[in-house]
Amino acid sequence: MRAMALGLVVVATAVAHAHSFDPALLDLRERGGGIYDVVWKTGPGLARLTPLFGAACRRVGALSPASAEEEGLSVFRIDCGARGLRGQTIGIAGLARDPSDVLVRIQWADATTTTGVLRSGVEELAVPGTGAGAPVGTVLRRYGALGVEHILTGLDHLAFVLGLLLLVRGWWRLVETISAFTLAHTITLALAVLGIVHVPPAPVEAMIAVSIVLVAVETLRPPDAPPTLARRAPWLVAFLFGLTHGLGFAGALAELGLPPDHVPMALLAFNGGVEVGQFGFVAAMLLPIQLLRRTPSWLQRVPAYAIGGVAVAWTLERVLAFWS
C-alpha cells in the first residue's frame, strides 16, 4: 500500500510532463520579390522575445487581429528588398536571458526549406545564400544537442529505459537489452524521417505508454512466477518496443524540421544525441538501482508502481486523444 500511494503521488505530479519540449516558433514563407509572410508564435511567459531580421527588412503589414497577438500569435509581412533573406541573419532579442528554444523555419519560393533552433548562446541563425547550405559543423552541433535534450526531457522514453534497468538482472543481459532497444529505435527513426515508413503520431504515443505499463507489470511479477517472454528474452521485448519509440523520436524530429542540404548529417547528429543522453541516464541509474536491490522487497517495488501508474495515466490520456 505504501508503494501504491507513492506511485499515485508521482502520477499526480508527473502526468503532464512527457515530451515537455515546447519551443516558440518563427515561420517565414517567401512570396517573391523579397516579401515574406511571418508567423511568430510564443508560449506563456515568452512575450518579451522579439524576432529580428536583416537590416534591409522592414515590417509592411499585420495579418493577425490584436486579440490573437495577446495570446502569443502574431502574423505579419516583411519586405527585405530584392536580395531577400539570403545571406542575412535572423535573431531573437531576449534569448540571452531566457532558457527557451525558438524553432526557425523558412519556406522558400522553390518549396525548399531552411530550419534552425535558437537558444541562449545561439541567438542568431545565419541564413545560407543562394546555393549554399548551413555549415556541417553547425548542423551536427545543433541537432546533436537537440537529441540529448529530447531524450532527457522525454519522461516516457526515460521511464521505459528505467523499467528495463529494473527488470533485467546481470551485466551482459543488460548490455544486450539496452543495445537491442538502441538498434530498434535507430532503425525506425531513420525509416520515418526518410519517408519510408509513416505511422500517425497518436497511436505511436499511446503504444509508447503501453510499453511502459507492460515493463512495469513484468518488474512486479514475483520471482517464482512462471517465466514470461520478457523474463526469458528481455532483449527481444526491448527491440520490439524500441521500434515504436523510434517512431516517437521521428515525430519530434519532424516538428523541428531538417535542413534540406544536410538531412543525413542532421539525422545522424540527432540520433547520436539521443544515444548520448540515453547512455548518460543509464550510467547515472546503475548505482541507485544496485543500492535499491539491497533494500526491503516492498521498497524495491516502489519505482515500478510509480512508472506503471504514470504510464497508465499517459495511456488513457493518449487513447482519449484519438477522438479529440
Any domain includes 146: no
pLDDT at 295 over 90: yes
Any domain includes 138: no
Q: Quick one: 7 and 33 in the same domain?
A: no
- Band the pLDDT of 205: cuts 50, 70, 90: very high
- Band the pLDDT of 288: cuts 50, 70, 90: very high
CB atoms near residue 227 (< 10 Å): 9
pLDDT at 37 over 80: yes
pLDDT at 68 over 60: no
Report whether 274 contacts 147 (CB < 8 A): yes
- Band the pLDDT of 74: cuts 50, 70, 90: confident
Span 17-26, average pLDDT: 62
- Does the CA dihedral 8-10-12-18 come out positive or negative? negative
Q: Quick one: 125 and 167 in the same domain?
A: no
- Domain holding 126, by residue range, is 24-132
pLDDT at 214 over 80: yes
Calpha distance 160→241 (Å, rounded): 9
Kind plus residue range of the DSSP H or E element containing 76: strand 73-79
Q: Quick one: 124 and 206 in the same domain?
A: no
Q: Quick one: 246 and 173 in the same domain?
A: yes
pLDDT at 34 over 90: no
Calpha distance 280→295 (Å, rounded): 24
Any domain includes 253: yes
pLDDT at 26 over 80: yes
Q: Quick one: 85 and 108 in the same domain?
A: yes
pLDDT at 45 over 60: no
pLDDT at 133: 54
Calpha distance 267→191 (Å, rounded): 11
Task: Quick: pLDDT tens for 230-251.
Answer: 999 999 999 999 999 999 998 8
Q: Quick one: 13 and 28 in the same domain?
A: no
Q: Quick one: 100 and 216 in the same domain?
A: no
**Bridge partners for 93 per DSSP:** 50
Q: Quick one: 118 and 158 in the same domain?
A: no
Q: Quick one: 194 and 169 in the same domain?
A: yes
> How does strand 73-79 pair with strand 113-118?
unpaired
Any domain includes 141: no
Any domain includes 140: no
Calpha distance 209→216 (Å, rounded): 11
Q: Quick one: 208 and 113 in the same domain?
A: no
Any domain includes 249: yes
Give the total number of structural domains in the chain.
2
Span 14-27, average pLDDT: 60
Cell, residue 288: 541507485
- Band the pLDDT of 281: cuts 50, 70, 90: very high
Q: Quick one: 232 and 268 in the same domain?
A: yes
Any domain includes 142: no
Q: Is 196 left (phi over 0), alpha (psi -120 to 50) or beta?
A: alpha
Kindly report the CATH number assigned to the domain that includes residue 74: 2.60.40
- Does the CA dihedral 49-53-58-59 come out positive or negative? negative
Calpha distance 8→80 (Å, rounded): 55
pLDDT at 256: 67
Task: Quick: pLDDT tens for 139-195.
Answer: 788 889 888 988 998 899 999 999 999 999 999 999 999 999 999 999 999 998 888
Span 129-134, average pLDDT: 55
pLDDT at 43 over 70: no
- Band the pLDDT of 317: cuts 50, 70, 90: very high
Q: What per-residue string of b and e applies to 290-320 under the rule 16 or more CB within 10 Å gives b?
A: eebeeeeeeebbbbbbbbbbbbbbbbebbee
Any domain includes 272: yes
Q: Quick one: 239 and 107 in the same domain?
A: no
Lowest-pLDDT choice from 11-15, 202-206, 286-290? 11-15
End position of a domain, from candidates 102, 132, 162: 132
